[in-house]
A and B are shown apart, each in its own frame.
Chain A
């Protein structure tokens, strides 16, 4: 039972490079989310997808784009990475107003 799977687990980028973080869930959840976690700041919502075919901005969307490819997959793209985007990124999924399940995270360093 995989749950929420994120790839890659670690990534180092140079400033200005682009990359896509992948996320897939096998729990048939409608909603999916991308959070970033920074020391002393908790988890902050970047983008979310309430259902397949919809996406919306969260608290810190600048510098990111997302794609809800299908019900299972929700990707996060950094078009031009900046050092301020060094963080741990978590994908999550869930049903309406119940528990959110998180992936293992992607540790991204931008140099």
Chain B
């Protein structure tokens, strides 16, 4: 049972374009929604995260949009750069006092020069 569904599986975007990755979740108890970025041969690293009390969070070129009623959240990468080429994972967890993340299946992003 996939509690967090992520799409698309892969994405090719031209340099300077907008990359959009979508996730949907089922468990309404989730209250923390991070995005992780992973480069080949490396472990995932936190990119940006949001909690359900806000509908949008922006950090530099990266924005999370959150729709609580639809149980969906998305990552927007503005002015995409070749250095953004990586695999992106959405995740979710509920506040149980520790971080038990449920991950999406990942999106492989390629930004062409």
User: Which residues on the A side are within 8 Å of B103 (C-beta)?
Assistant: 35, 42-44
Q: How far is the CA of A30 from the CA of B101 in the complex (A)?
A: 15
Residues of chain B at interface, number, CB under 8 A: 26
User: Given A41-B105, A42-B103, A50-B97: A99 and B43 within 8 A (CB)?
Assistant: no
- Which chain A residue shows the least CB distance to B101? A100
- Listed stretches A68-76, A79-87, A90-98; interface member: A90-98
Partner of B98, one of A42, A44, A94: A94
Interface residue B61 (Cβ < 8 Å from any Cβ of A): no
User: Given A45-B101, A102-B44: A97 and B95 within 8 A (CB)?
Assistant: yes
User: Given A44-B103, A99-B49: A90 and B44 within 8 A (CB)?
Assistant: yes
User: Which residues on the A side are within 8 Å of B99 (C-beta)?
Assistant: 31, 33, 94-100
Interface residue B66 (Cβ < 8 Å from any Cβ of A): no
